[in-house]
């Protein structure tokens, strides 16, 4: 009986219903051309407002969607809301597998940067030795020279190659490697002080509907190194945007409030000078 009671108690979430209620910095957002018709800019702005999202790290394929977000927020600025625009490396789907060897892409980034408002390059996908190319080095060096942050969806080998091109690079690691073991993530954080982990699709942070104890400890230890993101790479992710933000708010509430606020907002705000 005692044992049964213990099991029952363990099954009840300790802080049922509690959510982190502070601001969110959405550090992984795409506004691709397939989303534009169904989700006009005004609709997105409402969505951000309703979900307490106060800043978005925005990029799009092609870059038109990002420009539209920047321009909308300039024309009718929303107090306390910031668009942090990134240059995407894909003009269309055909660029996905070839961009890292194509000098036209480096040139496109350099031209797009002339608009004067970009804060980074990415998200881009790169794996293993693909990252060793001259084009990738040119892009990493350009980013460092222009104070741009890189947003990389990559494996560990490519991540190390990006930093080898230029140790001054600042990199947001999309999905924190998806499944990279925590001891490996910790080693990389130790080796590269300018590396941040973004947490979309990193489903192992939860065990059931609670934070996994190992992650809870890891977040507390490395509170300054994580960001959350929606990764709206297809329209279904726009449709479920409130659920995605709600998912973060639920597990953030299990962390000490100062840690939750860092991961949800402060790390991104600090990285881009929004404080």
123 binds Zn ion (CB under 5 A): yes
- Separation of alpha carbons 152 and 137, rounded Å: 14
Question: Between residues 23 and 229, which has the closer beta carbon with respect to Zn ion?
Answer: 229
| 122: helix, strand or coil | strand
Count of residues interacting with Zn ion (CB under 5 A): 3
Residues 226-245 that bind Zn ion (CB under 5 A): 231, 233
- Separation of alpha carbons 25 and 263, rounded Å: 9
Question: Between residues 192 and 233, which has the closer beta carbon with respect to Zn ion?
Answer: 233
198 binds Zn ion (CB under 5 A): no
Closest separation in Å from C-beta 123 to Zn ion:
5
Closest separation in Å from C-beta 232 to Zn ion:
8
254 binds Zn ion (CB under 5 A): no
HSE, side-chain direction, 13 A CA sphere, residue 248: 32
Closest separation in Å from C-beta 167 to Zn ion:
25
Closest separation in Å from C-beta 15 to Zn ion:
30
Segment contacting Zn ion by CB under 5 A, of 56-64, 76-84, 116-124, 191-199 = 116-124
CB atoms within 10 A of CB 219: 24
Question: Between residues 126 and 223, which has the closer beta carbon with respect to Zn ion?
Answer: 126
Closest separation in Å from C-beta 173 to Zn ion:
12
Residue nearest to Zn ion (CB): 231
Question: Between residues 123 and 261, which has the closer beta carbon with respect to Zn ion?
Answer: 123
Let me know the angle formed at the C-alpha of 21 by 49 and 151, rounded to the nearest 5 degrees. Answer: 65
Question: Between residues 218 and 233, which has the closer beta carbon with respect to Zn ion?
Answer: 233
Question: Between residues 29 and 260, which has the closer beta carbon with respect to Zn ion?
Answer: 29
22 contacts 253 by C-beta, under 8 angstroms: no
Q: Which of 271, 266, 228, 229 is nearest to 119 (CA)?
A: 271
- In order of 31, 73, 140, 179, the CA distances from 269 in angstroms are 21, 17, 22, 26
Q: Which of 204, 200, 162 is nearest to 180 (CA)?
A: 204
Handedness of CA 98, 103, 107, 109 (dihedral sign): positive
Segment contacting Zn ion by CB under 5 A, of 69-77, 126-134, 175-183, 224-232 = 224-232
Closest separation in Å from C-beta 195 to Zn ion:
17
Residue 29, class by beta-carbon neighbours within 10 Å (0-12 exposed, 13-18 middle, 19+ buried)?
Answer: buried
Site residues for Zn ion per CB under 5 A? 123, 231, 233
């Amino acid at each position: 009986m005692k044992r049964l009671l213990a099991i029952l108690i363990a099954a009840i979430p300790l802080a049922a219903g509690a959510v982190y209620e502070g601001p969110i910095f959405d550090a992984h957002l795409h506004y691709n051309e397939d989303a534009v018709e169904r989700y006009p800019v005004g609709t997105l702005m409402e969505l951000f407002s309703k979900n307490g999202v106060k800043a978005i790290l925005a990029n799009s394929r092609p870059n038109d969607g990002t420009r539209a977000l920047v321009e909308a927020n300039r024309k009718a600025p929303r107090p306390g809301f910031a668009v942090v625009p990134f240059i995407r490396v894909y003009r269309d789907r055909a660029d996905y597998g070839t961009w890292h060897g194509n000098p036209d892409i480096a040139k496109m980034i350099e031209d797009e940067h002339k608009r004067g408002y970009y804060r980074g390059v990415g998200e881009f996908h790169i794996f293993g030795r693909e990252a060793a190319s001259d084009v990738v080095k040119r892009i990493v060096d350009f980013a460092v020279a222009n104070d741009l942050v890189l947003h990389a969806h990559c494996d560990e080998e490519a991540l190390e190659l990006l930093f080898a091109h230029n140790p001054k690079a600042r990199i947001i690691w999309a999905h924190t490697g998806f499944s990279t073991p925590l001891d490996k993530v910790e080693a990389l954080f130790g080796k590269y002080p300018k590396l941040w982990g973004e947490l979309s699709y990193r489903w192992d942070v939860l065990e059931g509907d609670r934070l996994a104890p190992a992650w809870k400890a890891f977040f507390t230890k490395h509170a300054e190194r994580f960001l959350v993101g929606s990764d709206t790479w297809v329209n279904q992710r726009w449709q479920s945007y409130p659920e995605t933000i709600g998912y973060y708010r639920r597990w953030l509430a299990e962390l000490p409030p100062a840690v939750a606020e860092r991961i949800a907002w402060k790390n991104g705000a600090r990285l881009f000078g929004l404080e």
